[in-house]
């Protein structure tokens, strides 16, 4: 019997499996499809900064805590697997065609995160390819990015090196329960017993939570992405405008993201979705009109029916911990979530207060 059974092999489940295995636990990870192929693979992989000393809200604390771990995780993953996850501090440019950025910028200032206003006519000194038609622009120097598929590959390899057992193509369909505890996960390939369980099933978590007595549901929210290819990088910083953004890779590729669509478990690209992304991209960087469209994809973000992700023990199954509902920030928040869940599993005091994230709160 495993010490810990993790259900879900996205960035959250994989990171938890690695972290708890590093602490000496015997871990089995159960995945319905292939590890690291859902939202975590589909995401853009950019990470707004944080500052733990001044993070007022629980969400900002989790973001800041995770932010503080990324460089170290990257170094350890490289040391153990030889895989470079592409993590680098590239900086960000927050822009607007109207004067609507005041509230967003104030939040960064309240957190004491470095943010610098750039006069619209000076933006082209920083990023010459960006349109001159902007009304407002700010630089976030400590925004970072990583290559999701490479990161997932690295965490998977590190898990394997730490002895994590993988059961892929193995959906968990129900829980075997007794006296307020889970005894085993029931799967299409038999039962998987464990001492403790972690539910990290992303957008598919609702069914597993409901049968374990949790009042919160998780809705899938589709995000579409278009990937462009250029012979050389046109700009260096991630450019953000509201919920949409351009992420430049060092090899000249540019990710354009993303839509937010409540269409159930439908993962496809639509004409309207991709058109909207391409128009957005060329309105900010006109030269992108000449770029090659390499491919498009979409992923299903896990969106909870409340503001915060769920991280905590399930009230009706005390040996089960849930870690899901990270919506638009699950890659960024995966190292922090993994450390916090491991602290819960081992009975340590958690690095930040997890009460606001408790699954019992609706």
Ligand X SMILES: Cc1cc2nc3c(=O)[nH]c(=O)nc-3n(C[C@H](O)[C@H](O)[C@H](O)COP(=O)(O)OP(=O)(O)OC[C@H]3O[C@@H](n4cnc5c(N)ncnc54)[C@H](O)[C@@H]3O)c2cc1C
Task: Count CA atoms closer than 13 A to 260's CA, side-chain side.
Answer: 9
**301 lies in the binding site for ligand X (CB under 6 A):** yes
Among 5, 6, 11, 127, binds ligand X (CB under 6 A): 11
Q: How many chain residues touch ligand X (CB under 6 A)?
A: 42
The residue with tokens 């995401």 is 43
The CA distance from 28 to 172, in Å, is 13
Judge contact between 24 and 187, C-beta under 8 A. no
**DSSP secondary structure, 330-360, as one string:** TTTTHHHHHHHHHHHHHTPPPSS--GGG-TT
Among 21, 25, 44, 130, binds ligand X (CB under 6 A): 44
Q: Closer CB to ligand X, residue 171 or residue 356?
A: 171
Q: Closer CB to ligand X, residue 179 or residue 216?
A: 216
Residues contacting 226, CB < 8 A, separation 6+: 255, 256, 274, 277, 278, 281, 293, 295, 296
**9 lies in the binding site for ligand X (CB under 6 A):** yes
Span near ligand X by CB under 6 A; candidates 28-36, 79-87, 131-139, 346-354: 28-36
**19 lies in the binding site for ligand X (CB under 6 A):** no
The residue with tokens 């810990």 is 4
Of 174-203, binders to ligand X (CB under 6 A) are: 200-203
Among 74, 85, 206, 332, binds ligand X (CB under 6 A): 332
What track of x and - describes contact with ligand X for positions 213 through 252 (by CB under 6 A)?
Answer: ----------x-x---------------------------
- Length of the chain counted residue by residue: 362
Among 39, 113, 159, 284, binds ligand X (CB under 6 A): 39
The CA distance from 30 to 2, in Å, is 12
The CA distance from 151 to 40, in Å, is 10
Q: Closer CB to ligand X, residue 124 or residue 249?
A: 249
**322 lies in the binding site for ligand X (CB under 6 A):** no
In this structure, the number of other CB atoms found within 10 A of the CB of residue 119 comes to: 10
Among 6, 10, 60, 140, binds ligand X (CB under 6 A): 10
In this structure, the number of other CB atoms found within 10 A of the CB of residue 100 comes to: 12
Strands 144-145 and 116-117 come out as unpaired
**70 lies in the binding site for ligand X (CB under 6 A):** no
Q: Closer CB to ligand X, residue 10 or residue 127?
A: 10
Span near ligand X by CB under 6 A; candidates 1-9, 110-118, 344-352, 354-362: 1-9
Q: Closer CB to ligand X, residue 120 or residue 213?
A: 213
Q: Closer CB to ligand X, residue 122 or residue 210?
A: 210
Reduced to 3 states, what is the DSSP secondary structure of residue 88? Answer: strand
Strands lying side by side in the sheet with 46-47: 46-47, 144-145, 88-89
Judge contact between 31 and 176, C-beta under 8 A. no
**204 lies in the binding site for ligand X (CB under 6 A):** yes
Residue 182: alpha-carbon gap to chain centroid = 27
Q: Closer CB to ligand X, residue 41 or residue 138?
A: 41
Q: Closer CB to ligand X, residue 46 or residue 357?
A: 46
**Residues at the site binding ligand X, with contacts judged by CB under 6 A:** 7-13, 30-33, 38-40, 42-46, 171-172, 200-204, 208, 223, 225, 257-258, 299, 301-302, 324, 326-332
């Amino acid at each position: 019997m495993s010490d810990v059974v993790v259900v879900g092999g996205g960035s959250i489940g994989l990171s938890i499996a690695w972290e708890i295995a590093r602490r000496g636990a015997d871990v089995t990870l159960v995945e319905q499809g292939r590890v690291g192929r859902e939202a975590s693979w589909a995401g853009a992989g950019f990470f707004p900064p944080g500052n733990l000393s001044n993070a007022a809200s629980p969400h900002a604390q989790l973001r800041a805590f995770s932010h503080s771990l990324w460089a170290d995780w990257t170094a350890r993953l490289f040391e153990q697997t030889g895989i470079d996850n592409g993590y680098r501090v590239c900086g960000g440019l927050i822009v607007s065609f109207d004067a609507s950025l005041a509230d967003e910028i104030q939040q960064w200032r309240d957190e004491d995160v470095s943010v610098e206003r750039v006069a619209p006519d000076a933006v082209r000194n920083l990023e010459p390819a960006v349109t001159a038609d902007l009304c407002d622009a700010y630089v976030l120097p400590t925004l970072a990015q990583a290559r999701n598929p490479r990161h997932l590959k690295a965490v998977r390899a590190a898990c394997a090196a730490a002895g994590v057992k993988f059961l892929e193509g193995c959906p968990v369909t129900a829980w075997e329960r007794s006296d307020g505890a889970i005894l085993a996960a029931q799967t299409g390939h038999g039962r998987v017993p464990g001492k403790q369980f972690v539910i990290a099933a992303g957008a598919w978590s609702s069914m597993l939570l409901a049968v374990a007595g949790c009042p919160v549901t998780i809705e899938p929210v589709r995000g579409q992405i278009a990937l462009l290819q250029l012979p050389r990088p046109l700009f260096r910083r991630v450019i953000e405008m509201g919920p949409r953004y351009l992420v430049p890779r060092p090899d000249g590729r540019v990710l354009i993201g993303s839509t937010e669509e409540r269409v159930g478990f439908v993962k496809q690209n639509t004409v309207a979705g991709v058109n909207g992304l391409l128009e957005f991209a060329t309105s900010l960087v006109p030269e992108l009109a000449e770029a090659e469209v390499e491919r498009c994809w979409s992923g299903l973000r896990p969106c909870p029916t409340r503001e915060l992700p769920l991280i905590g023990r399930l009230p009706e199954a005390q040996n089960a911990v849930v870690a899901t509902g990270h919506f638009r920030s699950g890659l960024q928040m995966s190292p922090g979530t993994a450390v916090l869940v491991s602290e819960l599993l081992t009975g340590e005091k958690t690095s930040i207060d997890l009460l606001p994230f408790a699954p019992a709160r609706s």
